[in-house]
Amino acid sequence: MAGVLDKENTIASPGFNRWLVPPAALAVHLSIGMAYGFSVFWKPLGNVLKDELGNPIAACAAGATTFGDKLAGTAKALFATDCNWTQFDLGWMFTLFFVLLGCSAALFGGWLEREGPRKTGVVSAVLWAGGLLISAAGIYLHQLWLLWLGSGIIGGIGLGLGYISPVSTLIKWFPDHRGMATGMAIMGFGGGAMIGSPIATKLMAYFSVAGAAGVWQTFVVLGVIYFIFMLSGSFGYRIPATGWKPANWNPPVTKDNAMIATKHVHLNTAHKTPQFWLLWIVLCMNVSACIGILGAASPMLQETFGGALIGQAQLGFIDVKADDGLSAAAALVGAGFVGLISVFNIFGRIGWASSSDRLGRKRTYFIFFVLGAVLYCTAAYVAGFKSLSLFVACFCIISSMYGGGFATIPAYLADMFGTQFVGAIHGRLLTAWSTAGIIGPVVVNYMHDTRLEAGVPYEQIYAPIMLVLAGMMVIGFVANMLIKPVADKYFMTDAELDAVRSVGHAKVATKTVEMADADKNSLVVILAWGAVLIPIAYGIWSTAQKAWSLFS
Per-residue pLDDT tens for 276-314?
A: 999 999 999 999 998 877 777 878 888 888 888 878 878
pLDDT in tens, 219-260: 999 999 999 999 999 999 999 988 888 887 777 665 555 678
What DSSP assignment string belongs to 504-524? Answer: TT--S--S-EEEPPPPTT-HH
Decide which of 149 and 2 is more confident.
Answer: 149
At residue 82, the 3 state secondary structure works out as coil
- Please tell me whether residues 392 and 473 are part of one structural domain: yes
- Please tell me whether residues 396 and 539 are part of one structural domain: no
Name the least confident of 96-105, 357-366, 462-471.
Answer: 96-105
Q: The whole model's pTM is what?
A: 0.85
CB 39 within 8 A of CB 338: no
CB 245 within 8 A of CB 514: yes
CA dist., res. 389 & res. 550, Å (int): 9
- Please tell me whether residues 119 and 220 are part of one structural domain: yes
Decide which of 212 and 44 is more confident.
Answer: 44
Query: What pLDDT sits at residue 551?
Result: 64
For residues 96, 97, 100 and 103, what is the CA-based torsion angle, rounded to 10 degrees? Answer: -120
- Please tell me whether residues 543 and 432 are part of one structural domain: no
At residue 59, the 3 state secondary structure works out as strand
Q: Cβ atoms within 10 A of the Cβ of 387, count? A: 17
Query: What pLDDT sits at residue 510?
Result: 41
Residue 254 domain flag: no
Residue 339 domain flag: yes
Alpha-carbon distance values, 334 to 194, 299, 527 (Å): 16, 7, 37
Instruction: For the chain, state the CA radius of gyration.
Output: 24
Report, as an integer, the average pLDDT of 254-282: 86
Query: What pLDDT sits at residue 506?
Result: 53
CB 233 within 8 A of CB 26: yes
CA dist., res. 66 & res. 331, Å (int): 26
Query: What pLDDT sits at residue 185?
Result: 79
Q: Is pLDDT at 508 greater than 50 in this prediction? A: no
Q: Is pLDDT at 550 greater than 50 in this prediction? A: yes
- Please tell me whether residues 542 and 448 are part of one structural domain: no
Residue 287 domain flag: yes
- Please tell me whether residues 214 and 95 are part of one structural domain: yes
- β-pair partners for 491: 265
- Please tell me whether residues 427 and 524 are part of one structural domain: no
- Please tell me whether residues 415 and 528 are part of one structural domain: no
Decide which of 69 and 382 is more confident.
Answer: 382
469 alpha carbon, distance to own chain's centre: 20
- Please tell me whether residues 214 and 307 are part of one structural domain: no
- Please tell me whether residues 327 and 455 are part of one structural domain: yes
pLDDT in tens, 449-469: 888 888 888 888 888 999 999
Alpha-carbon distance values, 91 to 25, 143, 411 (Å): 28, 15, 32
Query: What pLDDT sits at residue 512?
Result: 41
Residue 397 domain flag: yes
CA dist., res. 531 & res. 26, Å (int): 10
Query: What pLDDT sits at residue 464?
Result: 92
Name the least confident of 56-60, 205-209, 228-232.
Answer: 56-60
Give the total number of structural domains in the chain.
2
- Please tell me whether residues 493 and 543 are part of one structural domain: no
Residue 508 domain flag: no
The amino acid at residue 166 is: P
CA dist., res. 107 & res. 110, Å (int): 7
CA dist., res. 457 & res. 366, Å (int): 35
Query: What pLDDT sits at residue 125?
Result: 97
Q: What are phi and psi of 437, to 5 degrees?
A: -65, -20
Query: What pLDDT sits at residue 229?
Result: 96
Report, as an integer, the average pLDDT of 353-371: 95
| pLDDT class of 159 with cuts at 50, 70, 90 | very high
Q: Cβ atoms within 10 A of the Cβ of 86, count? A: 20
Query: What pLDDT sits at residue 108?
Result: 93
Residue 36 domain flag: yes
CB 34 within 8 A of CB 192: yes
CB 532 within 8 A of CB 27: yes
What sections of 151-255 are H helices per DSSP?
Answer: 155-164, 167-173, 178-207, 215-235
Q: Is pLDDT at 477 greater than 90 in this prediction? A: yes
Report, as an integer, the average pLDDT of 383-412: 90
Percent of the chain with pLDDT over 70: 91
* Distance in angstroms between the alpha carbons of the first and the last residue of the chain: 54
* Buried b or exposed e, range 39-69, using 16+ CB within 10 angstroms: ebbbebbbbbbeeeeeeeeebbbeebeeeee
| pLDDT class of 528 with cuts at 50, 70, 90 | very high
- The CATH number that applies at residue 145 is 1.20.1250.20
Report, as an integer, the average pLDDT of 58-62: 72
- Angle (nearest 5°) at CA 211 between 333 and 89: 65
Q: Is pLDDT at 517 greater than 60 in this prediction? A: no
**Residue range of the domain that includes 298:** 270-497
Name the least confident of 61-70, 160-169, 256-265, 415-424.
Answer: 61-70
Q: Is pLDDT at 186 greater than 80 in this prediction? A: yes
- β-pair partners for 245: 514
Q: Cβ atoms within 10 A of the Cβ of 16, count? A: 18
- Please tell me whether residues 308 and 445 are part of one structural domain: yes
Name the least confident of 124-128, 214-218, 436-440.
Answer: 436-440
Rounded mean pLDDT of the chain?
86
Residue 146 domain flag: yes
Query: What pLDDT sits at residue 511?
Result: 41
Query: What pLDDT sits at residue 370?
Result: 97
Residue 77 domain flag: no
CB 77 within 8 A of CB 57: no
CA dist., res. 518 & res. 447, Å (int): 55
